Amino acid sequence: MAKARIENNIRRLRFDADEMTQKELADKVGVTRQTLLAIENGKYFPTLELAFRIARAFGVGLDDVFTFHED
């Protein structure tokens, strides 16, 4: 079976959004800064609902934030 991984562009999107802080994004989507940090670093994967909230916070589609790879 192929190994799957999920990558995200949250850091780049935050930078492009006038260097939004992790705390600002966390407050917008309703999680702690620590949770957002874990997601950004790929140590925790968000629920589908939270993934959509993150995408909406940037005004982009889900696939602009998260990418699924099967190796």
How does pLDDT run across 14-61, given as a tens digit for each residue? 999 999 999 999 999 999 999 999 999 999 999 999 999 999 999 999
- For residue 4, name the pLDDT band (cuts at 50, 70, 90): confident
Per-residue pLDDT, 51: 98
- For residue 70, name the pLDDT band (cuts at 50, 70, 90): confident
Separation between Cα atoms, residue 70 and residue 38, nearest integer Å: 21
Paired residues of 69 in beta bridges:
5
Determine the 3-state secondary structure of 10 from DSSP.
helix
Paired residues of 5 in beta bridges:
69
| pTM of the predicted model as reported, rounded to 2 decimal places | 0.91
Separation between Cα atoms, residue 20 and residue 41, nearest integer Å: 16
Direct distance between the N- and C-terminal alpha carbons of the chain, in angstroms, rounded to an integer: 9
